[in-house]
Amino acid sequence: MERIDILAKITDLEYRLENDELTDQERMEIDKEITRLGTQLNLNKDDKKALKILNKRVWMTYSDIEILQDLGVGKLKIMSHIGIAQDHSTDIDLSNAKSFYKTFYIKNKRLENYHKRFGRVFNPELYD
């Protein structure tokens, strides 16, 4: 269901609540349906945001990873989009930015060279 359709359905249900004579049971059912549709709206928005961040691939920052974790995206999915193999993804520390970048570049020298080639600077002395 598209966003516009969901909003139209919510508007119709709210109109029914205000203008129709309903029993308490019917009001409860309409309230539940409005809540369900509202949740669906937020999920669609969160999914689009997560997909937009995941599409950054190796250009994701630690802040992007924190947002993805808050949206409920799993560590393995995040690591696979960054380019870390599944067997190495458990070695990456996501507890803070310093630990993330340090373990990230230790496990993936290929990405360090990739970033240098495209102008992203990595200074390992910052992470000692």
Instruction: Give every CB contact of residue 55 below 8 A, 6+ residues apart in sequence.
Output: 81
Identify the pLDDT of residue 82: 79
Identify the pLDDT of residue 115: 55
Which range among 16-20, 98-102, 103-107 shows the weakest confidence by mean pLDDT? 103-107
CA dist 1 and 118 (Å) reads 40
Identify the pLDDT of residue 119: 53
Q: What is the mean pLDDT of residues 109-113?
A: 57
State yes or no: pLDDT of 2 exceeds 80.
no
Q: pLDDT-based confidence at 3, cuts 50/70/90?
A: confident
Query: Tokens 């205000």 sit at which residue?
Result: 18
Identify the pLDDT of residue 128: 45
State yes or no: pLDDT of 102 exceeds 70.
yes
Domain ranges for the chain, please list them. Answer: 1-43, 45-127
State yes or no: pLDDT of 39 exceeds 50.
yes
Which range among 2-6, 54-58, 120-124 shows the weakest confidence by mean pLDDT? 120-124
* Six-digit token string for 18: 């205000």
> Can you give the pTM of this predicted structure?
0.51
Mind giving me the DSSP string for 10-74? HHHHHHHHHHS---HHHHHHHHHHHHHHHHHHHHHHHHHHHHHHHTTGGG--HHHHHHHHHTT--
Q: What is the mean pLDDT of residues 66-91?
A: 80
